[in-house]
Structure 1
């Protein structure tokens, strides 16, 4: 029996229980053999937060002089699992042949299948520094070397830029592409004046630089489809659809999928054990399956409605006093 590496908690990376069919699907998709040690831990729990949160690094990284932080390990599945790998490889312009099992966009941990179809080494990738480091010869060695980093990582040491309206508009006037790319992402995830920001994004959706247009489209799809005014959102999507860049057009399709997310699609995702985030007005709700119970969680008030089956959740859960189906016209898919 393999000793469990997992924290006793439920988080966004914990997927539905692993089956042989899901493993087969993944290996056929990537045309590789996944490590036995990876399969073994996922049969205990299909992704999540490990007890040990760090791994040694042979060179300094943004995390520290001698280590990288391991906040989660992705399981096999859609959403927050490795089956979304191709999307992230394309979005962050990472090398083909990597299968990402940890990361947030700027740094990643990955199985390196560039020169192998089985028994891959493990690499750490820093996108911003264009740095790729092999940190373990195998996933088994990676697991063996995990340890608990007791010193809390000081995120205050990381520079987090806060952008004002005036600064952002100046970046546009001065054609400051690098600052615009950083500011778009930061503002999209902050408490920003959405009417003002939406109008700025409309301007930038016709910008001459494709990387700026890609960043606009990416962040609209990732964070803003449930927040922007409908008229602005639909105009943005039309601009994305007509863009000469294929990546921008792809984000238009992904955004439309969110906008047109139906109650029937919700039912299918709930039955498949997917974690779904829904928005109603300014509040977020999360549909979660855990330990054979289904929950509609409201993290703002730290409350949840719990049910013994997916059907019961779909029928009996309430948002603003109405069932999900009754109130669906006012509910949006968030993430």
Structure 2
């Protein structure tokens, strides 16, 4: 039994339990053999936050003089799993042959299959600096070298920004593409004036730079579909549908899928053991299957409702005093 590397939490990178069929599908898709050590940790938990959050680096990185931060490890699946790899390779113009298992767009960790079909080395990729640095000879070595970096370490060289309305509007006025690509996802995931931000994103959905338009579309799909008003969402979707960039057009469909997510789809996902995140007003709830029990977790209050079957959860769990089906018209799919 492999010792668990995972933090005891449920986050957006934790996918449905891994099966041999899912592994086979991924290996056939990429035409590679995935490392046994990677599959072993995913059979314990299919993606998520590791207990140890750092790995040594042979050269300085934006994270520090001698390490990179490992905030998550992607599992095998769609959404926040490695099956979305091709999209990110194209979006960030990365070399073919990398399979990304950690990253946020500007920095990545990846299996490097450019010169191999099995036993790949592990590389750190900095898109902005155009760096690809090998940090481990194998994923097994990568796991052995993980360590816990003090959360209060000095991010020398990293400017942690909190963007104001005035700054963001100035970036638009000055046509500052670099700052916009940082600020859009940052604001989308933060506590922001949603009416103001929605109107800014509507303006940017017609922006001349495709990377900015893509960040707008992806940020709405990833973080804002359940938070923005339907009126502004439909206006954004119409712009995305007519975009010349195929990736932006793709997000129009993905956003509509979230908006039109039905209770019947929820039932199907729950029966399949998939993790589903729901939003009601400003609160998030997560439907999770673990150890043959089904849970509706409320992370804001650190509580959960637990049931012995999927049917029992769907019938007896409550949000705002109503069953999921009774309150479905006010519940949205979040992630």
TM-score for both structures, normalised by structure 2: 0.91
Cα distance in 2 for partners of 1:180, 1:47 equals 29
Instruction: Tell me the CA shift for residue 151 of structure 1.
Output: 6.4
For 1:60-79, what aligned pairs fall within 5 Å after superposition?
A: 60-79=60-79
Instruction: Tell me the CA shift for residue 4 of structure 1.
Output: 0.8
Give 2:55's aligned residue: 55
Instruction: Tell me the CA shift for residue 216 of structure 1.
Output: 1.6
TM-score for both structures, normalised by structure 1: 0.91
Give 1:328's aligned residue: 328
Instruction: Tell me the CA shift for residue 155 of structure 1.
Output: 5.7
Cα distance in 2 for partners of 1:54, 1:332 equals 35
SS of 1:261's partner is: coil
Cα distance in 2 for partners of 1:147, 1:60 equals 17
SS of 2:279's partner is: strand
The 8 Å contact of residues 55 and 146 in structure 1, kept in 2 or not, is answered as yes
The answer to whether structure 1 residue 139 and structure 2 residue 139 are counterparts is: yes
The 8 Å contact of residues 64 and 155 in structure 2, kept in 1 or not, is answered as no
Instruction: Tell me the CA shift for residue 72 of structure 1.
Output: 2.9
Q: CA RMSD in A?
A: 2.2
Distance 1:66 1:156, change over 3 A: closer
Give 1:159's aligned residue: 159
Q: Deviations over 1:104-126 (max 9, x none)?
A: 33322111111211111111112
Distance 1:278 1:123, change over 3 A: same
Distance 1:70 1:326, change over 3 A: same
Distance 1:246 1:45, change over 3 A: closer
The 8 Å contact of residues 284 and 299 in structure 1, kept in 2 or not, is answered as yes
Cα distance in 2 for partners of 1:317, 1:329 equals 16
Give 1:6's aligned residue: 5
Give 1:22's aligned residue: 22
Give 1:255's aligned residue: 255
Cα distance in 1 for partners of 2:82, 2:169 equals 38
Q: Which runs of 5+ in 2 are unaligned?
A: none
* Matched residues, number: 334
Instruction: Tell me the CA shift for residue 239 of structure 1.
Output: 0.8
For 1:214-229, what aligned pairs fall within 5 Å after superposition?
A: 214-229=214-229
Give 2:195's aligned residue: 195
SS of 1:202's partner is: helix
Q: Deviations over 1:184-205 (max 9, x none)?
A: 2222222222112212222222
The 8 Å contact of residues 15 and 273 in structure 1, kept in 2 or not, is answered as no
Distance 1:315 1:107, change over 3 A: same
For 1:1-335, what aligned pairs fall within 5 Å after superposition?
A: 1=1, 3-7=2-6, 9-12=8-11, 13-150=13-150, 152-154=152-154, 158-335=158-335
Instruction: Tell me the CA shift for residue 150 of structure 1.
Output: 4.7
Q: Structure 1 residues 213-222 or 175-184, which shifts more?
A: 175-184
Q: Which runs of 5+ in 1 are unaligned?
A: none
The 8 Å contact of residues 226 and 279 in structure 2, kept in 1 or not, is answered as yes
Q: Deviations over 1:253-283 (max 9, x none)?
A: 1111111111122122222222221111121
Cα distance in 1 for partners of 2:314, 2:155 equals 39
